[in-house]
Structure 1
Amino acid sequence: MPKVVIISGSPNPISRLNGIVDHIEERLVSLGLDVRFLHVASLPAEDLILARFDSPSIVEANRIVAEADAIVIASPVYKAAYTGVLKTYLDLLPQKGLEGKVILPLFIGGTIAHLLAIDYALKPVLSALYARHITAGVYAVDKQITKTEDGSFILEEELILRLNAAVAGFVEATALFAPEVAPQT
């Protein structure tokens, strides 16, 4: 079973980004993938800021990424790019930390004006980490996700269709490009 890690770069635990990530997780699990989460904001801030490559938390986060066949990278857009907390973590990945992995980028922003943030801000960094299989990402606008009183999220139908199409392409690419998972003995 392919292993997927969802890396959330949101510093806000109640972000609308969670609505997108929850939907993606449900789809991936329903398709038989093994999904884990890495909430970058839950890593020790001092380890991130001081670039402590040998920190047990960073070593463990990097191990989770290394063991994954595919990675979803999700972030809100701040200042026309992904969050600073996500950048500090990406800086702590090994130079070839994304080599051989299929990547699905997901961004959410306040306006459509930052639609190209995935292409212009995130993809160059992913390429520097040797990501070669970046599937078509999804950019959502805040107003496409409604947070309910119980803390759950309602996604607009158009966004759901785009997310489902992105998951289909991601799963297909994972089957094609991710290294074959060794059988358990």
Structure 2
Amino acid sequence: MRIGIFGTGGMADALGTHWARAGHELMVSGRSDPGTLAAQLGAAVGSWPETAAFADVLLLAIPAAAVGEVLAEAGPLAGKVLVDCTNHPDLSGTPVASRIATEAHVVKAFNLAHVDIWRMTPPAWDGRPLSVPLCGDDPAALEAVRTLVRDAGGKPVHGGGLDRAALLEATAAFVIGLWFAGEDAQAILAPTGTPAPGAPAR
């Protein structure tokens, strides 16, 4: 798969490393020394428009505030799969990437786990791979991103249509707040099959 990476930060590095190991062809663009990350990944370097033209799938791994400007510079994205892993502080509506890149097939993914989790090989605990919810409307785009989740060592989970992507961003905001408060965010969800309070054990 030809993957374009918009951004040179932690998520671009962590996910790009997994995908390079899986044999995907990568191109990196960014304002902050894209050549260094590209060299680490064995990737090419391109401008925003060059990377957009090169890629079948684009990873949007830039600060949320820069999404509008970068996508405008990238040019037309018709038919492209745009993977949005950003978390925007404005949780009042549809995530910003899907509002701007209306001609792309946007899939919300990879926004719930800290970058250090994605640096694990694989990202798993006690044999359980990290589950990655995906929100999107295009079946082919969702299938492409499922492949990339598996190639990064995760387990893709259907999260509904793109109209539910804002829920993923809100979930990220909530659990990140718990982590910063020193709480075990993973412990807020009971394991599957846990009996309800008062119910007899099976």
**If the length of structure 1 is used for normalisation, what is the TM-score?**
0.51
Aligned residue for 1:139?
111
**Deviation at residue 90 of structure 1 after TM alignment:** 1.6
User: 2:85 is paired with a residue of what secondary structure?
Assistant: strand
Tell me the matched-pair count.
127
**Deviation at residue 38 of structure 1 after TM alignment:** 0.7
Instruction: Supply the distance in 2 between the matched residues of 1:35 and 1:131 (Cα, whole angstroms).
Output: 19
Identity of aligned residues (%): 14
Q: How has the CA–CA distance of structure 1 residues 36 and 87 changed in structure 2, closer, same or farther, with 3 Å as cutoff? A: same
Aligned residue for 2:10?
19
Q: Does 2:91 match 1:100?
A: no
Q: How has the CA–CA distance of structure 1 residues 100 and 169 changed in structure 2, closer, same or farther, with 3 Å as cutoff? A: closer
Aligned residue for 2:42?
none
Max radius of gyration: which structure? 2
Q: Which has the higher contact order (CA 8 A, sep 6+)?
A: 1
Q: 1:16-165 alignment to 2 at 5 Å?
A: 18-41=9-32, 60-76=47-63, 82-84=64-66, 86-94=67-75, 97-108=76-87, 114=89, 116=91, 119-127=94-102, 130-132=103-105, 134-140=106-112, 144-145=114-115, 161-162=130-131
User: 1:135 is paired with a residue of what secondary structure?
Assistant: strand
Instruction: Supply the distance in 1 between the matched residues of 2:32 and 2:120 (Cα, whole angstroms).
Output: 24
Q: How has the CA–CA distance of structure 1 residues 154 and 27 changed in structure 2, closer, same or farther, with 3 Å as cutoff? A: closer
**Deviation at residue 99 of structure 1 after TM alignment:** 1.1
Can you give the 5+ residue segments of structure 1 that lack an aligned partner in the other structure? Answer: 11-17, 44-58, 77-81, 147-152, 174-185
**Deviation at residue 35 of structure 1 after TM alignment:** 1.1
Can you give the 5+ residue segments of structure 2 that lack an aligned partner in the other structure? Answer: 35-45, 135-141, 149-202
